[in-house]
Amino acid sequence: MVKLQQYAELYPTRGFDDYFGKIRNEGLGWNRKRVLRVYRSLQMKLRRKCKKRLPARVKEPLYKPVQVNDTWSLDFMSDALTNGRRIRIFKAMDDSSRESLVAFADYSICAEKVVLLLKQIGEERGLPRQIRVDNGPEFLSKVFTQWCIENKIIIKYIQPGKPMQNAYIERLNRLFREDVLNAYLFDSLEQVRILADKWVDEYNRLHPHKSLKGRTPQQAAIELSGACPAQFNDLSLKKYFSVPS
């Protein structure tokens, strides 16, 4: 038993015949059927899953789009409630205007939920030309990639272990953590969601962004390419457009 386990650790992709051959070559005259019974009792006939290899990711310069909805950046954050239960927060932003598009918290967020949230955002403002993401399982899933293909959205994967290649949303995450996650203790998921929604609204309307020369993300969105359809009813934005009353 110990000998089989040793070989399994040294050669995890091999099978029984290889292990038994090595045992015989060591001069051990154990009966093959007996060794096979031990091998099966240990469930070593089940193949060990090898690490999935990611395709090569190309390093690309982080440029600033000049149109709203040209490029969105997506990412996840994590935190915990006071009872120790872990939560995740899905974040999305528009790289051109630096608008925070969503900060959705839940105990777990699968690829199907990510697609649903993106659809909801798209109904309000349209979908992007491309999306920048890391190599998380939600963004590698068939559900997410197929949805992007159907909507003609280019997926830009950053290189593994290089979060600064997605620097726009990394900075947004830092602000969100300082203002919300590190500033409060949360007893429930609902508390996180309420404060997250409030933060997104105030950030877009009031935050003077240095890279936008002191303008707010909402002001930048208006000046770049006009208000989004969902914003047309906001009287504060009508001075920028010829929107019928």
Instruction: Report pLDDT for 194.
Output: 97
Percent of the chain residues past pLDDT 90, beyond the cut: 59
Q: Is residue 27 located within the same domain as residue 75?
A: no
What are the backbone angles phi and psi of residue 80, rounded to the nearest 5°?
-145, 150
- Report the pLDDT value the prediction gives residue 6, as an integer from 0 to 100: 74
**Token pair for residue 166?**
């997605």
Q: Evaluate if residue 184 carries a pLDDT over 80.
A: yes
In a domain, 64, yes or no: no
Is 12 in the same domain as 86? no
Same domain, 124 and 30: no
For residues 15 and 93, membership in a common domain is answered with: no
Are residue 149 and residue 92 in the same domain, yes or no?
yes
Asked if residue 225 and residue 144 are part of one domain, the reply reads: yes
Element (H, E) at 167: helix 167-176
Say if residue 36 is in the same domain as residue 148. no
For residue range 58-70, what is the model confidence (pLDDT) as tens digits?
Answer: 777 787 888 999 9
| Pairwise pLDDT comparison (187 vs 14), residue with the higher score | 187
Average pLDDT over residues 6-10: 71
Average pLDDT over residues 112-124: 96
- Residues 147 and 37 both lie in one domain: no
* Cα gap 98→92, rounded to integer Å: 10
Q: Work out the average pLDDT over 125-154.
A: 95
- Is residue 128 domain-shared with residue 208, that is, in the same domain? yes
Does residue 46 have a pLDDT over 90?
no
Q: Considering the domain boundaries, does residue 183 fall inside one?
A: yes
Residue 48 lies in a domain: no
Q: Is residue 32 part of a domain?
A: yes
Instruction: Characterize 104-123 residue by residue with b for buried, 16 or more Cβ atoms within 10 angstroms of its Cβ, and e for exposed.
Output: bbeeebebebbbebbeebbe
DSSP 110: -
One domain for residues 124 and 227: yes
Does residue 50 belong to any structural domain of this protein? Answer: no
Find the CATH number of the domain harbouring 88: 3.30.420.10
pLDDT tens, residue by residue, 193-207: 999 999 999 999 999
Residue 174: predicted pLDDT: 95
pLDDT at position 137 over 80: yes
Band (229; pLDDT cuts 50, 70, 90): very low
This prediction has a pTM of: 0.71
Q: How confident is the model at residue 155 (pLDDT cuts 50, 70, 90)?
A: very high
Report the pLDDT averaged over residues 35-52.
66
Residue 33 belongs to some domain of the structure: yes
Expressed as residue numbers, the domain containing 27 is 2-41
Residues 95 and 35 in one domain: no
